[in-house]
Amino acid sequence: MSWLENIGYSLWLFWERLDLKRFGKSILSVFGAIWLTIEILDFFGKSSWSMNIKSMWWVILIVAVIIIIYRNWPKFTFSYKVQNRDVSISIRIGDVFKTKGALIVPINNRLNCDNNGIVKKSSSILKHFINNAYQKTAAHLNTDICQQIEDNEEWYQKYVVNKNPDEYKLGTVVPIFRDEKQYYLLCSSTLNPQGRSKTTVDDLRVSLNELWAYLTHSGSKDNLVIPIVGTGRGRIPLKREEVIKEIVLSFLVSLSQESYCEQLTIVIHPSDLKKFKMELDELLDFIRLHCNNTGYLKGNEIPTGTGIE
């Protein structure tokens, strides 16, 4: 996303979230402050100063408007700490590939990174991953995937559900380290004979649960970055807000026994926010509420109803 596009989305988001009533009150408060200053100067015999201020009211107004816009300029990152855990969940509006952390990359259950050219023509995260990390060469990613599976053959054999071509259980994770950055390929969709990807709600939940389980036991405890899984090529029958809620809830449940990262960042592309008229405030309230009410026990607490011997 270019800086020009970023400014455009910022202006759009500013206007969408602008409270005209509050903005008007801010303008009136600025005029009130100017008027009070003039009255004080007049009281102390500084009428010449007060006249200068009166003559420059439009300059002061412009400065005031700039300050008000600055104070109300939309945030692009919102972060909430999980109760009783040294973990936070963040929502970031921006480019998932420009967000720091280990990136979760959705892929189909055949680990097919070309799909007869369909991936190249799509707008999927997988396509952009290949473009960014592999200079648009899907074959190089395929080589890395095959190498990982070959090096851990015993581990991945238990995830194979069909042969010729190999199909893997949803939630299978293949770690890829490329250009000093960690990626985790997550099987979150299935391919039909026509090469069309599909993700159901159950597929999403299974994939997320398997992902957190894998990261708990085999992850590198990096900060994690995840897109809105299944909403593009996966064609999941859920609104984007609902998918994000599924990600948040499953992640919080996975922290019951162990904290395996310090931050999970869910990235929303600005175009999605605009195109699908996502209800950002309601979504943030949902995340805040659940982060503040997870109910995890502290280290030395005894669960209610547990007998003491």
DSSP string, 207-220: HHHHHHHHHHHH--
Lowest mean pLDDT among 86-95, 146-155, 187-196: 187-196
What confidence score (pLDDT) does residue 307 get?
Answer: 37
Instruction: Give Cα 82 to chain centroid, integer Å.
Output: 16
Q: How far is CA 147 from the centre of its chain?
A: 30
Distance CA 209, CA 279 (A): 26
**Can you give the pLDDT at residue 296?**
65
* Residue range 115-144: mean pLDDT, rounded: 90
Please write the tens of the pLDDT for every residue from 141-190.
999 999 999 999 999 999 999 988 899 999 999 999 999 999 999 999 99
Evaluate whether 81 touches 65 at the Cβ level (below 8 Å): no
The answer to whether 230 and 188 are in contact (CB under 8 A) is yes
> Which residues, listed in sequence order, are joined to residue 175 by a DSSP beta bridge?
184
Residue 39: other Cβ atoms inside 10 A: 11
Report whether 178 contacts 144 (CB < 8 A).
yes
24: left (phi over 0), alpha (psi -120 to 50) or beta: alpha
Output the CA angle 10-97-205, nearest 5 degrees: 100
Stated pTM of the model: 0.82
- pLDDT tens per residue across span 2-28: 667 667 777 777 777 666 676 777 777
Report the C-alpha gap between 260 and 82 in whole angstroms: 13
pLDDT at 153: 93
Sketch the domain layout of the chain as residue ranges: 18-72, 77-292
Q: Give, in order, the Cα–Cα distances in Å from 54 to each of 1, 57, 62, 256.
A: 45, 5, 14, 63
Give which of 203, 225, 230 is closest to 215, Cα–Cα. 225
Between these two residues, 77 and 13, which has the higher pLDDT value? 77
Indicate whether 213 pLDDT > 90. Answer: yes
> Residue 265 pLDDT more than 70?
yes
The architecture that CATH gives domain 77-292 is: 3-Layer(aba) Sandwich (3.40)
Per the model's pLDDT, the better-predicted residue between 23 and 273 turns out to be 273
Mean pLDDT of all residues belonging to the chain: 85
pLDDT of residue 53: 67
Choose among 251, 252, 210, 202: nearest CA to 230.
202
Q: What is the pLDDT of residue 130?
A: 95
